[in-house]
Copies of this chain bind each other. A is one copy, B any other.
Amino acid sequence: MTESDRQTEDRIFDSAMEVFLEKGMDGARMQDIANHAGINKSLLHYYYRSKDRLFSAVFEKIATNLFAKFAPVFDVNKSLEDKIRFFFDEHIGFLQKNRRLPGFLLNEINRNPARLRNFISEIDFERVWTMLYTQHSDDLKKYNITREKLPQLMTTIVSMSVFPFAARGILEEIFEQMDMNFDDFIEERKKFAADFVITALKNMNQ
């Protein structure tokens, strides 16, 4: 594969990502992608065979990117509280630069959950819990965080960071009416979410 092939293939891929993120699988048109890449429509098929394959390539890339942002939380050597702060800073920071990602993923996964199966099946949840427990057994005991509560807790944490972006359309409409700004709201949220979760954790077992 020559250098120029690679360039074209990359330009197609980037354009597809752009268009699919904007319009979704059903709303995207091969012609739009070709125009965006400045090439002919048939080249899309030459490189990716079909719309579905092109979409799959894009979907996998996007899903990998997003999930990769969750991983460091379990590695980094920090206290539980610092990890939570770290997560909200990093994750919300990442979404600030990739705002359409949450809505895209949630929608496409609901539309076709099978696409996710490969990603999920690679995760060893047993190991995740073990890591968490060995690293923070003191904190977990102190705050009475049991294994049974973890799904509720994780869902809450993820939702606090992801939901505002998934609901950006709604929030921007509302904020406009209140003379507020979505970007400011998001910037604030890094600290608010961390404070909120940590406070709840520390006091919930009482």
Q: Can you pick out 16 interface pairs between chain A and chain B where the beta carbons lie within 8 Å of each other? A: A103-B107, A106-B107, A109-B167, A116-B173, A149-B192, A152-B185, A152-B189, A155-B171, A158-B163, A159-B164, A162-B167, A163-B166, A166-B166, A195-B204, A199-B203, A200-B200
A27 surroundings in chain B (CB, below 8 A): 26, 111
- Shortest Cβ gap from A84 to chain B (Å): 13
Give how many copies assemble into the complex. 2
**Which of A38-46, A72-80, A88-96, A120-128 lies at the interface with chain B?**
A120-128
The interface centre, meaning the residue of A167, A174, A188, A189 with most chain B CB atoms within 10 A of its CB, is A167
A16 surroundings in chain B (CB, below 8 A): none
Tell me if B185 and A110 are in contact (CB < 8 A).
Answer: no
Q: Give chain A's interface residues, CB within 8 Å of chain B.
A: 23-24, 26-27, 100, 103, 106-107, 109-111, 113, 116-117, 120-121, 123, 125, 149, 151-152, 155-156, 158-160, 162-164, 166-175, 177-178, 180, 185, 188-189, 192-193, 195-197, 199-200, 202-204
